[in-house]
Structure 1
Amino acid sequence: MERPTRRAGGLHIAMVCDFFHPRVGGVETHIWSLSQALLRLGHKVVVVTHCYGEHGGVQQMPNGLKVYYLPLVPFWRDVTLPTFFLFLPIFREICVYESIGIIHAHSIPSSLAAEAILCGQTMGLKLVYTDHSLYGEHDLASIHVNALLKWALAAVDRVVAVSKACAQSLCTRCDLRDTDVTVIPNAVDAGRFYPAAHAAGNPLVEAGPTLGPGCPVPKQSIGIIVLSRLTHRKGVGLLAEVLPLLCRRFPEVRIVIGGDGPKRKLLETARAKHGLQNCVYMVGEVDPGCVRELLHRGQILLNCSLTESFGITLLEAAACGLLTVSTNVGGIPDVLPRDMAILAPPEPEALVNAVGKAIDRLETVDPHDFHKRVSEAYSWEKTAKMTEQVYEASCRCEQTELADRFLRCLRRSSVFGVLLCMIAAALHVELLFLEWIRPRPRAETLSRDAFGSTASKVLDKVVQRPQQKEEM
C-alpha cells in the first residue's frame, strides 16, 4: 500500500488512549480510522497506548501510522494505573522525537488519556479531547469519571463529542455551553463494508474458515446478528431475556452473537436453560477483519444497549445492507433514518415486537440503497476534515500560563482542584529538570542521534524496532 504524500506544513498529532488495536470496540475503530484519514490528508499521526500481549514497543502500521505500545501494565479493564511523574519523561521523549504539536486524547475513563492531557499541558502543547461515551451523574463510577472530565475540559483547548446526545450530556455534567463542544460523528469505511451480494459465494449458508463452522445460517432462515462487547452497558442482561422470546415467537430465526466480555456467562446460561443451542450461536470475540463476514450472515442487526453515544456497529451493519433493530437510547436516534432502523424502548417485549416489524419489512429493504446512503452521509474523510478544523482552531488558542492553570483547576473543584494544582506544580518542576538534563534539539537537527546515546538507550528499551503490521 502506498504511503500518502504529506503536504507542507502538515500537523503532527499524537492520538492517546488506553484503548486501541488489538482491542476491539468503537473507540478503537474511531482512533484507527481517523488516524488513517488524517494521514491521507497529509498530516503526521502517531498513536500512544499501552502494550497488549505481543503488541509491544513501536510498530509500523499501514500508510505510515506509528503506534507506541508503552510498557505499562493495565490494572482494570485495559486501563493503566496512573503514574504521572514516571509517564512524563517517556511521553516527552516521544513528543520531541516525533515533533508533536497536538495531543488528541480520547475517552477520559482512559487514565493514559488523562495523563497525556496533564503532561501535554505542562509541555505547552495544544490539547484536543474527544468524548465517546454517555455517563450518569449519581453512581460512584460516574461521579469519578465526571470529576476527571471537568478537570480535563478545564485543561484542553477544544472539545469534541461523537453525537448530539454526547454533547448535551457533556454540557449538562460539566457546566459547558453548547458552543463549547463540536459534534463530529463517527463514520464507516464503505470500501470495507458492503452488501453480501458483492461478496464471492453465498456467506449466508456456510460459516467460512475465519469464524469457524459453528454458526451456519441456513438459506431459508432469517439471520439476526448481535455484535458488541458483552457488558452490562451493552444490554447483555436485556438480551438474555429477549433471546428465548425471539426463538419462541419466530422459529425461523437464527441469532449469531459476536463479542466477548464479563457478561458472556449470562448469555451462555440463558442459552442452555432455554435449550437454544440450535437457534443461538456464540462466536466469541470477532477480529476486525472478520466483522463484515459476520454481518453478511444476517439480514437484521439487533442492538440492546442500555446507553450508547453513537454506535459505529449500526453504521457498519447498514453499509452491509442490514436492517437495524435497536433500543431507543442515547445518540442512537440520530444515527440512522427511520426506514433503516426500528427503535424500541429497552424492554424485552418491545424489542421482540420491533424484530417482528423488521421481519415484515425485509422484502422492501434494498441493501445497495442502504450502502449508498450510508457511505454518502458518513465517511472518515468528512470526519477527518472536520477534525482538522478543530485542530487549526486549537492552534489559534493562546498559551495558558501556570498561574492560569491553577485558577482553572480551583474553579472546577476546591478540594480536587488543590490536588491537581500540586500535581501540576510538581510536573512543571520535573519538566524543568528534564529540559535541563535533556534539552530539546533544534528542529532542523532532530533525529535519533540528536538525543545522544543515553536517550537512544531509553528509546530502545521503551520502543522496539518498528515492525510492519497488516491493515486491521
Structure 2
Amino acid sequence: MACRKVGGYKQSLSTSSSIVNCRKPPAHEIKTHSICMVSDFFYPNMGGVESHIYQLSQCLIERGHKVIIVTHSYGNRKGIRYLSGGLKVYYLPLKVMYNQSTATTLFHSLPLLRVRLLGALEHQDVRNVLVQGHVFLNTSLTEAFCMAIVEAASCGLQVVSTKVGGIPEVLPENLIILCEPSVKSLCDGLEKAIIQLRSGRLPPPEIIHNQVKTFYTWRNVAERTEKVYDRVAGEVVLPMDKRLDRLISHCGLVTGHIFALFAVLSFLLLVFLRWMIPDSLIDVAIDATGPNGAWTQRFFSTKRGREKEKI
C-alpha cells in the first residue's frame, strides 16, 4: 500500500444498489482514502461478490472517499465507464479463461471447480432456490466473507460450512456448524444438522430471518471498512529489503525465497510500466466523493434546472 498526503491527511492507495440510508459524516470526522477494488466479478454480472463491491463502494463514496473498480472486459463493455454516484470502473481487455475468471483467478480457483450443481442463477432466483431446502452446505476451501451463507441463513436455512477465511466471524454459533475442510468433518457436521432438524431443535425459518436481517447494513460495513483503511494508512511503509526479509522469515526458507522472487519480479514489472507510461499521463478519476463532490453538484444543479423549467 502506498500513501500520499492530501489536504493534510494521508491518503492511501489500496488494492484489496443505489445507496439506502448511507449516513454522510461531517468532513472533519474522517480521513479520506483513494481506494482501488480489483475483482474479476463485477457488473454486468450480478451476484454476491458483485453486489458487495458495488454497495460498499457507493457507501464509501458517500462517506467522502474516492473509489475505483478494476475488472476485466465483458463483451463490448471495455475501457472506462462511470456508474452511479461517480464510481469509475476500468474494464481491462484481459482474456477470460473460465466462468468470467482470468488466468490469475482461475489458477487460485482450481480446487473449487470439482462440482457443478445448478450452475449460474439470476440474482432474483436465489431466494426461490434456497427456500426449497433446510440445510445449506458450503464447502469453500478459501473464502473472505461468503455472502452465500448470509443469504442462506436469511432464508431460514441451517448453515454447515468449512471453517476457513473469515467465515467463523460471519454468523453466530447457533446459526452455523463449522467444520474442518475435510470430507469426514463435513459429513459429521451435516449429520449433526440433520439430527437437529429432525428433533425440532432448530428455530423456525422466520425467526432465523428476523435475526439475520439485523446483522449487516451497508452503512455499518462501510464504517468498519473505513476503520481498516485508517489503521493501515497509519502503518509504516516498509522498504523493499525489509519486505523481502519478512516474506522469508514468515513463509519458510524455501517458500519464502520463492515468494520473494515473485515479489522482486512484480516490483521490476511495476517500475518498467511506470517508465513506459508515467503517472502524469494516467487519467485521474473525477473527485465525486462526499456531499460536495463534483458528481453530486452536477446532479443537483441539473435537477434544479429541470424544476425551474417546469415552474
Query: Given the two structures, how large is their TM-score scaled by the length of structure 1?
Result: 0.43
Matched residue, 1:317: 152
8 Å contact from structure 2 (residues 19, 55) kept in 1: no
Go from structure 1 to structure 2 and tell me whether the alpha carbon gap of 1:360 and 1:39 turns closer, same or farther (over 3 Å shift).
farther
Deviation of 1:386 after TM superposition, in Å, equals 1.6
Letter in 2 for 1:69: Y
Give the Cα separation in 2 of the matches to 1:364 and 1:411.
Answer: 48
8 Å contact from structure 1 (residues 406, 421) kept in 2: no
Matched residue, 2:69: 47
Deviation of 1:388 after TM superposition, in Å, equals 0.7
8 Å contact from structure 1 (residues 19, 110) kept in 2: no
Give the Cα separation in 2 of the matches to 1:22 and 1:262.
Answer: 26
Give the Cα separation in 2 of the matches to 1:388 and 1:410.
Answer: 29
Deviation of 1:384 after TM superposition, in Å, equals 1.4
Cα deviations across residues 367-397 of structure 1 (Å, max 9, x unaligned)? 1x43343233333322211211222233334
Give the Cα separation in 1 of the matches to 2:78 and 2:65.
Answer: 24
Letter in 2 for 1:326: V
Secondary structure at 2:69 match in 1: strand
Secondary structure at 2:196 match in 1: helix
8 Å contact from structure 1 (residues 38, 384) kept in 2: yes
The within-5 A match list for 1:208-227 is none
Letter in 2 for 1:439: S
8 Å contact from structure 1 (residues 343, 354) kept in 2: no
Deviation of 1:419 after TM superposition, in Å, equals 5.4
Give the Cα separation in 2 of the matches to 1:2 and 1:350.
Answer: 38
Q: 2:125 aligns with which of 287, 290, 301?
A: 290
8 Å contact from structure 2 (residues 95, 102) kept in 1: yes
Give the Cα separation in 1 of the matches to 2:226 and 2:51.
Answer: 18
Go from structure 1 to structure 2 and tell me whether the alpha carbon gap of 1:442 and 1:410 turns closer, same or farther (over 3 Å shift).
same
Residue 392 (str. 1) matches residue 230 (str. 2): yes
8 Å contact from structure 1 (residues 2, 63) kept in 2: no
Go from structure 1 to structure 2 and tell me whether the alpha carbon gap of 1:386 and 1:313 turns closer, same or farther (over 3 Å shift).
same
Matched residue, 1:326: 160
Q: 2:139 aligns with which of 302, 305, 326?
A: 305
Give the Cα separation in 2 of the matches to 1:394 and 1:363.
Answer: 41
Q: 1:417 aligns with which of 240, 254, 260?
A: 260
Give the Cα separation in 2 of the matches to 1:75 and 1:381.
Answer: 35
Go from structure 1 to structure 2 and tell me whether the alpha carbon gap of 1:7 and 1:24 turns closer, same or farther (over 3 Å shift).
same
Matched residue, 1:95: none
Q: 2:80 aligns with which of 29, 41, 58?
A: 58
Secondary structure at 1:336 match in 2: coil
Deviation of 1:326 after TM superposition, in Å, equals 1.1
Matched residue, 2:91: 69
Matched residue, 1:427: 270
Give the Cα separation in 2 of the matches to 1:75 and 1:363.
Answer: 42
Bigger drift between 19-28 and 30-39 goes to 19-28
Go from structure 1 to structure 2 and tell me whether the alpha carbon gap of 1:337 and 1:42 turns closer, same or farther (over 3 Å shift).
same
Residue 382 (str. 1) matches residue 252 (str. 2): no
Q: Percent identity over the alignment? A: 30
Q: Figure out how many residues of one structure are paired with residues of the other and give that number.
A: 250
Matched residue, 1:370: 208
Give the Cα separation in 1 of the matches to 2:158 and 2:65.
Answer: 35
Q: 1:14 aligns with which of 36, 48, 61?
A: 36
Deviation of 1:49 after TM superposition, in Å, equals 0.6
Deviation of 1:357 after TM superposition, in Å, equals 2.6
Secondary structure at 1:75 match in 2: strand
8 Å contact from structure 2 (residues 60, 222) kept in 1: yes
8 Å contact from structure 2 (residues 49, 147) kept in 1: no
Give the Cα separation in 2 of the matches to 1:442 and 1:29.
Answer: 26
Give the Cα separation in 1 of the matches to 2:168 and 2:42.
Answer: 27
Q: 1:439 aligns with which of 280, 287, 297?
A: 280
Matched residue, 1:336: 171
8 Å contact from structure 2 (residues 25, 63) kept in 1: yes
Cα deviations across residues 254-293 of structure 1 (Å, max 9, x unaligned)? xxxxxxx6633xx5xxxxxxxxxxxxxx4x3112243234
Go from structure 1 to structure 2 and tell me whether the alpha carbon gap of 1:380 and 1:66 turns closer, same or farther (over 3 Å shift).
same
8 Å contact from structure 2 (residues 196, 202) kept in 1: no
Letter in 1 for 2:152: A
Give the Cα separation in 2 of the matches to 1:308 and 1:426.
Answer: 28
Give the Cα separation in 1 of the matches to 2:76 and 2:114.
Answer: 23
8 Å contact from structure 1 (residues 323, 362) kept in 2: no
Deviation of 1:17 after TM superposition, in Å, equals 2.2
Alpha-carbon RMSD: 4.1
8 Å contact from structure 1 (residues 56, 69) kept in 2: yes
Give the Cα separation in 2 of the matches to 1:390 and 1:39.
Answer: 16
Give the Cα separation in 1 of the matches to 2:282 and 2:86.
Answer: 24
Matched residue, 2:60: 38
Deviation of 1:305 after TM superposition, in Å, equals 1.0
Matched residue, 2:305: none
Matched residue, 2:200: 361
Which blocks of at least 5 consecutive residues in structure 2 are unaligned? 1-17, 248-255, 287-311
Secondary structure at 1:391 match in 2: helix
Secondary structure at 2:200 match in 1: helix
8 Å contact from structure 1 (residues 47, 68) kept in 2: yes
8 Å contact from structure 1 (residues 232, 263) kept in 2: no
Which blocks of at least 5 consecutive residues in structure 1 are unaligned? 82-108, 112-140, 146-228, 234-260, 268-281, 448-472
Deviation of 1:15 after TM superposition, in Å, equals 0.8
Give the Cα separation in 2 of the matches to 1:397 and 1:338.
Answer: 33
8 Å contact from structure 2 (residues 58, 85) kept in 1: yes
Give the Cα separation in 1 of the matches to 2:158 and 2:34.
Answer: 38
Go from structure 1 to structure 2 and tell me whether the alpha carbon gap of 1:66 and 1:301 turns closer, same or farther (over 3 Å shift).
farther
Q: 1:351 aligns with which of 190, 195, 218?
A: 190
